[in-house]
Structure 1
């Protein structure tokens, strides 16, 4: 049986966190401001562009799932795990934001993308309060 020496253990101790934490992608303000999800905020009740905005975000490797949780937005540790695993970012709009129908269309496009790329695996860890998720999931049965 091989025994690790102190130098190897210290190296392993330093390497594991560096590898595990280096996968996190931070969305810059410029990326967030240029995203289709942000453009939905400035759309009127005409939601005809919502799906194409989502498709553009997907093509740019910057898709969002939009949340509207109310006055006190919530964030959970599992959000980062989901974002890192699937390359989709949560966007919290608080109690105000885009027209709900537009957000639903945007999110549905992202749901279809996730299903095509990852199968049904992502359904277990996505936040259940993503706008339009419950309705989309029922329609998929």
Structure 2
């Protein structure tokens, strides 16, 4: 009788190990959205990390992420992005993978509508540009700035969130429309964010 028990245990061993291996195949997936003023947009290229395991996923252009090969139990998630404070949350995988998780971040806009209104009141409105490593200057740029009493400002390769910049520029666009009509739009640089 002992021989049969040992044989049964040896035969069942690989199946038990396989079942335990499948136990670590859980995932957490969802979407990270970003609130900028009254707009909600996907948080692109945000990092979603599992602090207790070190796993990392990057959100895609729609803010979607997936963390795979997680174990059952509690997981500490942190979401990091360039234009919002870190989000920390705790989740517990009990029986099945977590799907459709929705995380919301609030943009930390150093440039926004309020700053644009302040700059207009101070008679220092700007048209914001997200340039590259080397700034671009056009030949007739200074004539435009003098004619419409506005300055171009190029952030270079380190810029705030594009939606924040666009909010700022939209206020300046309305100001220029009210002061000069629409003729300035034909002369403005086409790389101004929001044009």
Q: What range is the shorter-chain TM-score in?
A: 0.5 to 0.7
Aligned residues: 91
Q: Distance in 2 between matches of 1:49 and 1:71?
A: 20
* Structure with more helix by fraction: 1
Report the equivalent of 2:150.
88
Report the equivalent of 2:121.
59
TM-score (norm 2): 0.44
Give the Å deviation of 1:98. 1.2
What does 1:91-130 correspond to in 2, within 5 Å? 91-130=153-192
Structure 1, unaligned runs of 5 or more: 1-42, 134-141
Deviations 1:110-135 (A, max 9, x none): 000000100011011100000111xx
Structure 2, unaligned runs of 5 or more: 1-82, 85-106
Deviations 1:14-55 (A, max 9, x none): xxxxxxxxxxxxxxxxxxxxxxxxxxxxx7423497111101
Q: CA RMSD in A?
A: 1.7
Give the structure with higher Rg (CA).
2
SS state at 1:72 partner: coil
Deviations 1:84-117 (A, max 9, x none): 0001100011111111111000000000000010
* Structure with more strand by fraction: 2
Q: Distance in 2 between matches of 1:68 and 1:115?
A: 22
